[in-house]
Amino acid sequence: MAQISFSVNGKKQIVDTDPATPLLWILRDHLNLVGTKFGCGVASCGACTIHLDGKAMRACVLPLSAIADKEVTTIEGLSEDGSHPVQQAWVDVDVAQCGYCQAGQIMSATALLKQYPNPTDAQIERGMSGNICRCGTYLRIKEAIKRASENMK
């Protein structure tokens, strides 16, 4: 057991647990931030994507020991009311089908747009390639990323 402090969506958190515990379980079971989803548990689907110090990471394989004193952002931290330009573009394009993968898709897209404010098709495909959608919403995701890019100018 170890005490680890970090911040989530701007709020300081201290947890006392096994430092090997994946961040995903802390978010969902301890902090009740259930927007971040469990898909595969082995960093292969992207459903659990969060930002760690602004970079997209998979929370299912991120041990608590790796996030000490760092800043975590989850889908709940993008905006309080869904008004972040990427979330808004998702609504405008009506991207979601079942919705299960979409929080992870939005977190990856937000990190991608930070790196490439005007992403090419190839940059979108490469940046989003680790996020799987069983419903096949990939074309709408690409359109929403382009729309968010326009709206963020």
Asked if 92 and 84 touch (Cβ cutoff 8 Å), the reply is: no
Task: Assess 101 for contact with ligand FES (CB under 6 A).
Answer: yes
Among 94, 98, 120, 150, binds ligand FES (CB under 6 A): 98
Shortest Å, Cβ 40 to ligand FES:
4
Applying CB under 6 A, does 100 fall inside the site for ligand FES?
yes
Enumerate residues 6+ apart whose C-beta is below 8 A from 51. Answer: 57, 72, 73, 107, 110, 111
Q: Determine contact, residues 53/71, Cβ cutoff 8 Å.
A: yes
- Confirm or reject binding of residue 96 to ligand FES (CB under 6 A): yes
What distances in angstroms separate CA 17 from CA 4, 12, 20, 145, one per listed residue? 8, 16, 9, 38
Instruction: Assess 128 for contact with ligand FES (CB under 6 A).
Output: no
Nearer to ligand FES, 120 or 126 (CB): 126
Q: Is 135 in the site for ligand FES (CB under 6 A)?
A: yes
Q: Which region, left, alpha or beta, applies to residue 87 given φ > 0 means left and ψ of -120 to 50 means alpha?
A: alpha
Compute how many residues bind ligand FES; rule: CB under 6 A.
Answer: 23
Restricted to residues 19-58, the positions that interact with ligand FES (CB under 6 A) are: 38-41, 43-48, 58
